[in-house]
Amino acid sequence: MTTRNNNAYNIFLAKHVRNDTPINEDMAAWKRFFSHNQNLCNRPTQSFLRYNDKSLINNVCTSNGGKIYERNLCISNRTFSFITVRIKQGCEISSITRETNHIILACDKIDNVCRPVHFEGNQNNLKPNPKAPGCQYH
């Protein structure tokens, strides 16, 4: 899908693939993180992928890295380790969980490159359908 928002990829990175997030489930570290990033407190559930996995995350939106799940949603061929933080009102952390799962990303064409623009939860632990076409902009 082509997007009119050429900044959607950068917004995705700012929400989910940051180089300043804690690397473990240390509550004190996450409290410090959110105290410096109050603008992230408006979403009750947030998932943070490892910054070092950025190229693998981008690869989900290619024919080699992911399979089409539905519409512009692609599911990764490989599993990723990430941290999900649940936030209560007032930016209070209610839980921090490390997860390993196939990730589902909305992928849009930005400057002729298919890029992730949205992280979709995979609560049902879905796996890619090997018969589905690979992800890429059509």
User: In whole angstroms, what is the distance from residue 78 CA to residue 16 CA?
Assistant: 18
User: In whole angstroms, what is the distance from residue 41 CA to residue 76 CA?
Assistant: 27
> 48: which strand partners?
83
User: In whole angstroms, what is the distance from residue 23 CA to residue 43 CA?
Assistant: 20
**Residue 6: what pLDDT?**
73
Query: Average pLDDT of the chain?
Result: 93
Encoded tokens for 102: 């196939």
Under DSSP, the state recorded for 134 is B
Give me the residues of the chain with pLDDT under 50, please: 138
**Residue 111: what pLDDT?**
85
**Residue 1: what pLDDT?**
52
3-class DSSP string for 6-47 = CCHHHHHHHHHCCCCCCCCCCHHHHHHHHHHCHHHCCCCEEE
C-beta of residue 34 within 8 angstroms of C-beta of residue 22: no
User: In whole angstroms, what is the distance from residue 118 CA to residue 110 CA?
Assistant: 13
Write down all domains in the chain, each with its CATH number in brackets: 8-120 (3.10.130.10)
Kind of pairing, strands 73-88 and 66-70? Answer: antiparallel
Encoded tokens for 40: 């992230």
